Amino acid sequence: MKVILFGGTFDPPHIGHLVVAELSLEYLKADKVIFIPSKVSPFKANTKPLFSNEERLEMVRLSIQDNENFEVSNFEIMSNKEVSYTYLTIQHFTNEYPKDEFFLLIGGDNLKDFHKWRNYEFILTKVKLVVYPRFGYTTKVPKSLEEFKDRILFLNTPLIDISSTSIRERIIQGKDVRYFLHHKVYEYIKGKFR
């Protein structure tokens, strides 16, 4: 099986995540995308999410439940580690399913500093990176990853300029977010902020 791993804070998950996941599935002719909400991202250790671990996990569940090719994993949320390191997640999935071919879906904003990720060389020996475009970021392999250029694929997809950060700001300001989210996630959030 071809499996795409899609990690992130998903605070909250929005339609941009769903579109990118679907397009990567088509592009790679993959069998499934596994969404993996992180407990604490190493690069966001000082930022408190708006939603709890359980709420973020539930929102991902709600947003993907009508797509048989999408799954959610609680691996990082349930981990006893304080910080979610991608290499441990990759290690888990590749050990658990040694016959599957794995890809890691990341945004173009993460590619520039990917060499700063813990054990990034290990990650790139186990999976291929699939990079989706983000506004203001290049779609070229950075010099720091030149030796792994054969392990990096770029999605030629429309630029979806939606971010969880801007959605959180709108929620806090009491602005409408219905068109940024799956309708079930919107209803879930609406119930929390009445």
Looking up tokens 């002719």 gives: 29
The distance of Cα 86 from the centroid of its chain, to the nearest Å, equals 11
State residue 175's pLDDT score: 93
Long-range Cβ contacts of 88-94 (<8 Å, 24+ apart): 89/5, 89/7, 89/36, 90/5, 90/122, 90/123, 90/126, 90/127, 91/122, 91/126, 93/3, 93/5, 93/34, 94/126, 94/127
Residue 154, beta-bridge partner list: 131
Task: Give the tens place of pLDDT for each residue, 102-151.
Answer: 999 999 999 999 999 999 999 999 999 999 988 878 788 999 999 999 99
Those residues with Cβ within 8 angstroms of residue 132's Cβ, 6 or more apart along the chain or in another chain: 20, 23, 24, 105, 106, 107, 108, 155, 157
State residue 154's pLDDT score: 94
Residue 139 contacts residue 31 (beta carbons within 8 Å): no
Instruction: Please state whether the peptide bond connecting residue 12 to the residue before it is cis, i.e. omega within 30 degrees of 0.
Output: yes
Predicted TM-score of the model (pTM): 0.94
The better pLDDT of the pair 190, 6 is held by 6
Compute the residue count for the chain: 194
Task: Give the tens place of pLDDT for each residue, 19-75.
Answer: 999 999 999 999 999 999 998 776 665 677 899 999 999 999 999 999 999 999 999
**Residue 87 predicted with pLDDT over 60:** yes
Q: How confident is the model at residue 80 (pLDDT cuts 50, 70, 90)?
A: confident
Phi, psi angle pair for 152, to nearest 5°: -125, 125
State residue 43's pLDDT score: 63
Task: Give the tens place of pLDDT for each residue, 153-171.
Answer: 999 887 788 889 999 999 9
